[in-house]
Structure 1
Amino acid sequence: MRKVVAGPADRLPRPPYDAKITPIFKALGGMPERYEVEKLRKDASARTLPLTNALFADRSVSVEDITIPGPRQDLTVSVVRPVAPTTSGYHPCIFYIHGGALVAADRFAGLDTSVIWAREFNAITISVEYGRAPESTGTQPAEDCYAALLWAGSHLSELHADPERLLLYGTSAGGGLAAAVALMARDKGGPTLCGLVLECPMLDDRNEKVSSQQFSTGPFYNSTLNAFAWRCLLGERVGGSSVSEYEAPARAQDLSRLPPTFLDCASAEPFRDEIVAFASKLWEGGVQAELHVWPGGPHGYDRIVPTAPFAILARKTRLSWIRRIFSQ
């Protein structure tokens, strides 16, 4: 459970990396011989700490931690609010779920983006500290996130948030959890979501798509690491018939009645084809969905090369979509 040895070299040709990615690729060198939960967590903390410190130092927002009841134990949510008063009285609310391959990072990973959301939309952001694998398994991480979303939905008036502008947003592993939570909200009667943003979501435990085979190795997030992460969550059930859509949302047969959804990914990452398939399933279910596949990037391109033209365009496109959703 704690370690996995790297698989064979890729046998399929890969879409090329953007020119700005290539020097980073060469500098990182080969992939690790094995993956370990403790090392993944240590590396994630080192990457996110400077951005977390910058969030706390930003005078345009306030950050408050709140303890709420969870399905197994109490959960902590961080609420980021704009300091400037809103003229309308109520803020849009973005419920954010962090990434980290299901095993690493914390509720502050990627939460620095809440400063941009506060500036652009005057939005409140809520981020939950969900249970990570392998300590939390099966549907438990998604159940933690859903419990926190239910709490948010029932406390919107106290938060001065608009109940008609509650948007669910997830990145990477958090994108997969956001998709699972959106399915729970649909199936369990709420809360009502105005939109769903799935940024490079981790959706499928089976690792069967062409993009998974193309990127089974490499210094960026690859499908060997992905298989390790899913095994931490699902154990011996990984890839089998007993995995539910609340664990791996790509298993869902019916995606109808989900909120308008934005999906994006990069062309040179293992999640590409499962994300494209998920978008097609959304359209099949009659859901309004927008998909972008940005050429030349690995998984996590937005953080790896934030100054690359395609990364800048990707961020602007996400913001534009959220602005449209909040203005409807």
Structure 2
Amino acid sequence: MTGYEQPTEVVPPPPLDRECAAVLANMPPFPTLALETLKDVRQPPPGYEPPSDAVLSQGGAFIIEERFIPGGTGADISVVICTPAGAAAPRPALYLVHGGGMVSGTARQSMPGYMHLAEALGLVIVAVEYRLAPETPYPGPVEDCAAGLKWTFENSEELGVDGNRVIVLGQSAGGGLAASLILLARDHGHRMPLGLMLTAPMLDDRNNTVSAWQMEGIDTWDRARNEVGWAALLGSRRGTPDVSPYAAPARASDLNGLPPTFLDVGSAETFRDEVVAFASKIWKSGGQAELHVWPGGFHGYELLAPEAAISRETRAAREAWVRRLL
């Protein structure tokens, strides 16, 4: 890995939201993340059951289906499709790219956090099961995500999806992959979605912002864990000048031509500064972006503290943006 020196002055981090801090204080310590221990880290914690199709269907409100499709070069991947039962086709859709630091997570695990959008707006969710690093390093994961989006567009009629109203949504590491696949689509003349939603996206392999240093040892996904995720994806290239913007979107010098983009992040999380910088770069390039920095939110606060006031406001802001876009 390429190391970085801590900036000369790093002031104390912003205070955590009171409700979020209470939840964080009662959580067990996160296991140490290392490439050698990924097998253990990928195991669900005791008592956690990954959401089954029966749970995701919410008593028949949604129809859950899994399809196996061609992924990146030489790969087969799956997509999990969640369709509102009884809704008239064609429907708008969310193309969902899950989080997990590039090294863990599944499509089904990510879907419950966004089902409120499907319920409120009658959306189909298509969640891609991309291959994980380090077993599949860059460019495999982003190629899988791009292949899944291409498949969604090509099969939109069969899926009951309005191909002109597809929004790409990426969470955490999935946010970085979502931004990457949009840059690929822009630069290679592929079909673009209606919009792009990035929730606390993982964008910058250099891992050297003020917020990354401020939240070291505090955030649920801190600087040390971030180092491991990027190293899994990029190996020895992480942090070097030759990292592609298709791997780390913060490396892109020009963000012209992106669809309308929504970004949100907590003020007390590792990714704060890289997300703010990415939004600023979109504006500098003449693009349209809506940015929310939620005061006192740590990484994943809206999922781990769903009843906190800022979590409810976060979900409402996301829904309002999608509703306006549609």
Return the TM-score normalized by structure 1.
0.91
- For these two proteins, the number of residue pairs brought into alignment is 317
Residue 303 of structure 2 corresponds to 303
Measured after TM superposition, the shift of residue 116 of structure 1 is 2.2
Residue 84 of structure 2 corresponds to 82
Residue 170 of structure 2 corresponds to 170
Between the aligned partners of 2:296 and 2:52, the Cα distance in structure 1 is 25
Counterpart AA for 1:322: V
Counterpart AA for 1:23: A
1:85-234 mapped onto 2 (5 Å cutoff) = 85-86=87-88, 89-218=89-218, 220-234=220-234
Counterpart AA for 1:166: V
Measured after TM superposition, the shift of residue 47 of structure 1 is 5.0
Q: Is the 8 A contact 2:53 2:64 kept in 1?
A: no
Cα distance per residue 1:56-107 (max 9 Å; x no partner):
4531000111111122211111111111131xx3100111000011101111
Q: Is the 8 A contact 1:28 1:219 kept in 2?
A: no
Measured after TM superposition, the shift of residue 48 of structure 1 is 6.4
Between the aligned partners of 2:143 and 2:46, the Cα distance in structure 1 is 24
1:139–1:30 Cα change, 3 Å = same
Between the aligned partners of 1:268 and 1:114, the Cα distance in structure 2 is 22
Return the TM-score normalized by structure 2.
0.91
1:83–1:28 Cα change, 3 Å = closer
Between the aligned partners of 2:203 and 2:221, the Cα distance in structure 1 is 14
Residue 319 of structure 2 corresponds to 319
Counterpart AA for 1:273: D
Q: Is the 8 A contact 2:10 2:210 kept in 1?
A: no
Between the aligned partners of 1:52 and 1:141, the Cα distance in structure 2 is 24
Between the aligned partners of 1:44 and 1:320, the Cα distance in structure 2 is 34
Measured after TM superposition, the shift of residue 29 of structure 1 is 6.5
3-state DSSP class of the match of 1:109?
helix
Measured after TM superposition, the shift of residue 188 of structure 1 is 1.6
Q: Is the 8 A contact 2:33 2:228 kept in 1?
A: no
Measured after TM superposition, the shift of residue 51 of structure 1 is 7.6
3-state DSSP class of the match of 1:68?
strand
Structure 2: which 5+ runs fail to align? Answer: none
Counterpart AA for 1:15: P
1:18-97 mapped onto 2 (5 Å cutoff) = 18-28=17-27, 32=31, 35=34, 36-43=37-44, 47=48, 49-50=50-51, 54-71=55-72, 72-86=74-88, 89-97=89-97
Measured after TM superposition, the shift of residue 140 of structure 1 is 1.1
Measured after TM superposition, the shift of residue 296 of structure 1 is 0.8
User: Which 10-residue stretch deviates more, 149-158 or 265-274?
Assistant: 149-158
Q: Is the 8 A contact 1:29 1:219 kept in 2?
A: no
1:243-258 mapped onto 2 (5 Å cutoff) = 243-258=243-258
Counterpart AA for 2:43: K
Between the aligned partners of 1:39 and 1:130, the Cα distance in structure 2 is 20
1:46–1:267 Cα change, 3 Å = farther
Q: Is the 8 A contact 1:206 1:239 kept in 2?
A: yes
Measured after TM superposition, the shift of residue 325 of structure 1 is 0.6
Residue 15 of structure 1 corresponds to 14
Measured after TM superposition, the shift of residue 46 of structure 1 is 6.4
Between the aligned partners of 1:44 and 1:69, the Cα distance in structure 2 is 31
Residue 260 of structure 2 corresponds to 260
1:284-295 mapped onto 2 (5 Å cutoff) = 284-295=284-295
User: Which 10-residue stretch deviates more, 207-216 or 44-53?
Assistant: 44-53
Residue 4 of structure 1 corresponds to none
1:286–1:94 Cα change, 3 Å = same
Measured after TM superposition, the shift of residue 178 of structure 1 is 0.4
Between the aligned partners of 1:29 and 1:65, the Cα distance in structure 2 is 33
Aligned-residue CA RMSD in angstroms? 2.1
Q: Is the 8 A contact 1:137 1:233 kept in 2?
A: yes
User: Which 10-residue stretch deviates more, 107-116 or 126-135?
Assistant: 107-116
Between the aligned partners of 2:229 and 2:87, the Cα distance in structure 1 is 42
Counterpart AA for 2:11: L
Measured after TM superposition, the shift of residue 275 of structure 1 is 0.2
Measured after TM superposition, the shift of residue 52 of structure 1 is 6.4
Counterpart AA for 1:85: A
User: Which 10-residue stretch deviates more, 186-195 or 98-107?
Assistant: 186-195
3-state DSSP class of the match of 2:110?
coil
Measured after TM superposition, the shift of residue 219 of structure 1 is 5.8
Counterpart AA for 1:69: P
Tell me the percent identity: 39
3-state DSSP class of the match of 1:148?
helix
Counterpart AA for 1:21: C
1:24–1:117 Cα change, 3 Å = closer
